[in-house]
Amino acid sequence: MRVLLTGAAGFIGTRIRERLIDGGHDVVAVDAMLPAAHGEDAAPPDDVARVDVRDAAAVADAVAGVDVVCHQAAVVGAGVDAADAPSYAAHNDFATAVLLAQMFGAGCRRLVLASSMVVYGQGRYVCPGHGDVDPVPRTRSDLDAGAFDHRCPICGEPVDWALVGEGAPLRPRSLYAASKVAQEHYALAWSESTGGSVVALRYHNVYGPGMPRDTPYSGVAAIFRSALEAGDVPRVFEDGGQMRDFVHVDDVAAANVAAVEAGTEGFNAFNVCSGKPVSILDVATALCEARGDVSPLVTGQYRSGDVRHIVADPARAADVLGFRAVVDPADGLCEFATAPLRGPALPS
């Protein structure tokens, strides 16, 4: 198939491009080369065209004759503060709307969209006495006292985390999350109005070689690695018991190829995860042990609005797409401890 891949020079896009080519697909690779992701004055690789997805004319040229679009281009991370809102809205919301319009004009009716676990908000929780509950926000007094777990809104007792399925409500808690929900909603509306197919891949915590470092938009794995590279120790917030799912970038690439090759109809969302939950403290410890020189520091500090636990259910992706992650986080994190990272994108 002829595949238009946006964000093709990025951390994830680079791996997807390699997998698609290895699979015999004809890839039209484009990237805006935003400084926040690639550094100032970075040039795209020879086989990647510089295209800003907000540019309708450039997108129209790129999408001509394409069978499916794999849309990875986005501004990522939780955002530093409210001043980041226009950037997310422009590069994620508006750019996706432009892309969908040009796909419609070109007669392309298949989209694979990079979404994120952040659309779920604070995750899923179960009270032993009351079942699934939407917990109340954590209070400052509890956090100051080191009581980090959510409480049941009915009985006030601590609740347990549970796997989040794709049918969970979408409740964004950051600028990035709001833009990802917007992308999904635009894609859903486009699918229903055109009869097109959309596969929204909700990535969980992606890590692996080539991950960007030294930027406020990095994931926690890269932040820990950057600290180790600088001769510091990973600083773990709260008690380190926050549960996440860390999925290797090679598995994310494989999920995208599976989605490109799938024959799904309408709008479908899938978790892209390892299926093996791990705590943030365990991630920091694994990186430190692999390097063999330091231990993580559990600070007890917290950030207002941070999500305590969010862990995905991998079953639907396995059942429908045939995707199952193959990199065990224990092995992948050991490799990641010394793997090369992408150099600083932002000036210090």
Closest of 173, 290, 284 to residue 239, by C-alpha: 284
Give the per-residue pLDDT at 219.
81
Burial class (CB in 10 A: 0-12, 13-18, 19+), 144: exposed
Q: Give the tens place of pLDDT for each residue, 81-96.
A: 788 899 999 999 999 9
Q: What is the mean pLDDT of the chain?
A: 93
Phi then psi for residue 207, to 5 deg, are -145, 170
Q: 3-class SS at 89?
A: helix
DSSP labels for 193-228? HH--EEEEEEE-EEE-TT-B-SSTT--HHHHHHHHH
Q: Give the tens place of pLDDT for each residue, 263-309.
A: 899 999 999 999 999 999 999 999 999 998 799 999 999 987 789 99
Q: How far is CA 280 from CA 184, 220, 310, in A?
A: 28, 8, 11
Task: Domain 2-123+164-337: give its CATH architecture.
Answer: 3-Layer(aba) Sandwich (3.40)
What does the alpha-carbon distance between residue 287 and residue 289 come to, in Å, rounded to a whole number? Answer: 6
Q: Give the tens place of pLDDT for each residue, 174-214.
A: 899 999 999 999 999 999 999 999 999 999 999 999 998 76
What does the alpha-carbon distance between residue 133 and residue 115 come to, in Å, rounded to a whole number? Answer: 25
* Position 165 pLDDT exceeds 90: yes
* Position 225 pLDDT exceeds 60: yes
* Amino acid identity, position 274: S
